[in-house]
Every structure is written in structure tokens, then in C-alpha cells.
Amino acid sequence: MSGSVVDNTVSSGNSSVAIPTDISGQILDIDEDDDLEVFSKDTTLSDGSSLNASMQTSSASMINQYKFEEEEEDADTKDIFVTVDNPESHVTAIETYITYRVETKTTRSEFDSSEFEVRRRYQDFLWLKGRLEEAHPTLIVHPLPEKFVMKGMVERFNEDFIETRRSALHKFLNKIAEHPIFSSSEDFKIFLTAGSGELTSHKKQGPGFLSRMGETVKAVAAAVRGVRGRPQEFTDMQEYAEAFSQKISSIDKVTQRIVREQKEYLEELKECGPTYALWSQSEEELAEPLKNVAGCVDKCCKETEEQVKHLNDHLIPVLHEYVLCADTLKAVLRRRDNIQADFEVKTEALATKKADRDAMRDELDKVEDRLEWANNALKSDWTRWQKGMRTDLRSFNQYLKPNRHRCLFLSETNIAMS
């Protein structure tokens, strides 16, 4: 993709964050089967959730913890490699589900071995995503494939669906492995190495239902109350996320409509070809031209079929992934606002309440540290996410180029036959 996605920079203290002002040109430069959505829109986990007790709370340590490198990791320095493959179907008296083999190779000293192989089902991936969001509410976790089959998918476990999900799970884990904070998470290590029984035991150690309900109630209250002093850079991020969401959603919908129309066109072509072939048998003078038309229609049919498959297998899932990435950005920004709203409430309480002022001031200091941690984490991860997105879009654009000639050929043929 030509050009840069980022064209404006807002500074804050010693850090700066790049803020885009208009992404329409870059998005429109991008050269899931409409019956199959393959990414989850459940991005509301752990809204406003508290930090782990083991996290550092001093402002300086938090800034250092989230100071990422300016350059992306080179392949030569990468020390953990994860592969998701070999899906297997399991049928029990209660349910039918798919497990995937997760192979890990690493040189990290904190691992007991250099290679691991485990089997994981979708629920395990969902647990990992939730734990990462819970521990790091203002870091950007890559979206997961969706939990349920949507839009009238008849066969839940057909090969196309399983492969699309496997690919998405593979990308999710590799995004985690490439992240400087997530890849060092104890939950990620357990996910990659623990046996099924050990993982089940570890999953039970998470926050209970009532705890999650309490955080949800606080998040709703913060949303209703809103924030009054949000820094301008986070307002700019919010506007970017909204604009990105609207534009990529529009592209996603247009692409799905194109696929539907191409499918309808394909069905018509399949009917026309045999018709011309039969017609040539009854018209001696026009036999040769009619056979040529039948051959042309057959060629168009094959090209259209390949194009539809390409769009279904490669373009639609990626576009829908970007839609879910936009939802994730908005969820992260909401969680940051929830933390600031909590800080503002406690600041007001300290100003109006005379009793227990010392205790309240200590609590306010902790919330202020938490807010500063959240702000610095989001600013660093936001810049990192933008770099990764630009790289993804460039790679995707290069991947699509070889197929542009087919689209052009079909467009010209459609006009000629109209």
C-alpha cells in the first residue's frame, strides 16, 4: 500500500504518538465468504478490570516496562516460534469440537525445554485472550476467530471453515509471540507448555463470576459518567479508531456484496455455456461461432469461479479481521477511559470528604499510578500496532497484485457480454 497511514504526531512529555488524520486514501488503495464470518466480535472482556497484584506500580517502573523498541524484531533475533496445525475432530456424548496441535520452538531460558507440543481447543484460546486483556487492559490483543458459526453456515466442521479458523488461530498466537509484553506472560507460557489437566487447573484460578460482574458494572457506570479531562492525544486516537472502523466496515460490506453478485453471475454462466453448445448442434452455418462463444463462456466461468474462491479464501477473511481489529482498538480506549473515570471520581471524593483523607489520598495515588501506567502502555502499543498494520497492508497489497489481471479480464468480459 502506498503512502503512510500516519500523517500527524502529537507529543506528550517525553513520548510522542503518531495520530492519523485521514486514512481513506490508504484504505481504498487495498487492491469471508459472505456466509462465513471467521473472527470474534467479543472485545468487551475485562472492561476496566484491575491490574494483577504482581504488577509494578511506580510511575518510573511502569514507563520503563512499556518502553518498546523503535524497530520491529528481526527474524534472526526472534526466540519463540509457534505453529498451529493438524486439526482433529472429537465427538463425545455431550459435544463435538475441534482441537489443534500447537507446536512451540524456543531458546528462552524460562522454558524447561526447547520444543513443546500440545493440543488446544478454541475455548483455550479464548481463555488466553481474556487473561491477557485482564492483566493488560490497555494493550492491544489481536482478535480471535469467532466463537460460533454465523449467517446460516450449514456444516460447522467443513474443511474450509476449519482451515480458515486454524489460520486465524495461528496468526493470533504469533501476534502474541511477537509482542514484547504478552510473549513473557506466564499465562502464555502455560498455554504453550501445559498438559490438558494442568491447563484446566490453571484456568480455574482466574477471577470468579461475581468479580467479573463487578468490573462490568463499574465499566457501565464509567461509560454513563464519561470522562471530562481526557488528553487530546487519546481523543485523536478515538477519532482515528472510529474513522478506521467505518471505512474498513464499508469496504468489507462492499466486498461481500461483490462476492454475492459474482456468485449469481457464475450461476448464470454455468447455464449459458451448455445452451450455446446445444445451439451449435442445430445451426450448421453458425456452428463454429456458437462453439467459440460456448468456449468463451466456459473460460469466463472458470475464471469467475477462481476469482470467487480467491475472494472468499483470502480477501474477505482479512478485511473482516481488520474490522475486528477496529473493534479491539475501541474496546482498549474504553478501558483506558474507565480507568481515568475512576481516577476522577476518587479525586472529587477526596476534595469533598473530610474524614479518612490520608487513606483516600493513598488510594488516589494508586489510581493515579494505574492511570499513568495505562496511558503509557496504550501510547507505546498504539505506535507498535500502527507499524504492524502498515506492514500487514503492504504485504496484503503485494499478495493481491497477481490476481488483478483476472479481475480486469472479467470486468472487460462482463461489459462485452452485457
- Tens digits of per-residue pLDDT, 67-119? 444 444 454 578 899 999 999 998 888 888 899 999 999 999 999 999 999 99
Dist CA 10 CA 33 (whole Å): 39
pLDDT of 220 strictly over 80: no
Distance CA 341, CA 334 (A): 10
Helices 232-282 and 287-310 sit at what angle, rounded to 10 degrees?
160
Model confidence at 145, pLDDT cuts 50, 70, 90, reads confident
Average pLDDT over residues 395-403: 64
Least-confidence region, from 112-116, 236-240, 413-417: 413-417
Dihedral over Cα of 311, 313, 314, 316: its sign: positive
The helix (run of H) or strand (run of E) holding residue 213 is helix 209-225
Q: How far apart are CA 170 and CA 335, in angstroms?
A: 27
Mean pLDDT of the chain: 75
pTM of the entire predicted model: 0.71
The values of phi and psi at residue 348, to 5°, are -65, -40
Residues 85, 387: Cα–Cα separation, whole Å: 28
pLDDT, residue 128, reads: 96
Higher pLDDT, 226 or 315: 315
Identify the pLDDT of residue 282.
Answer: 86
CA dist., res. 66 & res. 184, Å (int) = 13
- Which band of pLDDT confidence, cut at 50, 70 and 90, is reported for residue 312? confident
Q: How does residue 33 score in pLDDT terms, banded at 50, 70 and 90?
A: very low
What confidence score (pLDDT) does residue 43 get? Answer: 42
